[in-house]
Amino acid sequence: MKYIAEIESSVAGIPCVIGVTEYQQGDSRADGDHDYYGYSQWHICDHRGRTAPWLESKLTNEEQIRIEFEITRHFN
């Protein structure tokens, strides 16, 4: 799969790579939710870049928020 960014991270203390396929920064002047808040689509991958559904199943809400922050920080 082709990623626009590969960001080193971790899930449940296990090192991984976040493969970002789409990213749009939010715009406070926008009318719609996606444009206002922005959005990203990403996959959790193992250290070789292969998607890792077994690792994604360990993802907590707090880790998802942290990963989305890491993605935003990467693009800003």
Domain boundaries, the chain: 5-75
Question: How much is the mean pLDDT over the chain?
Answer: 88
In angstroms, the CA 65 to CA 62 distance is 5
At residue 76, the pLDDT reads 87
As a whole number, mean pLDDT of residues 51-76 equals: 95
Asked if 20 contacts 40 with a C-beta cutoff of 8 angstroms, the reply is: yes
pLDDT at 58: 96
- For 41, the enclosing helix (H) or strand (E) is strand 38-45
pLDDT tens per residue, range 18-52: 999 999 876 666 565 555 556 789 999 998 889 99
Q: Which residues on neighbouring strands pair with residue 51, listed in sequence order?
A: 45
CATH topology for 5-75 is: GMP Synthetase; Chain A, domain 3 (3.30.300)
The two structure tokens encoding residue 2: 């082709």
> In Å, how far are 5, 18, 46 from 68, measured between CA atoms?
13, 10, 18
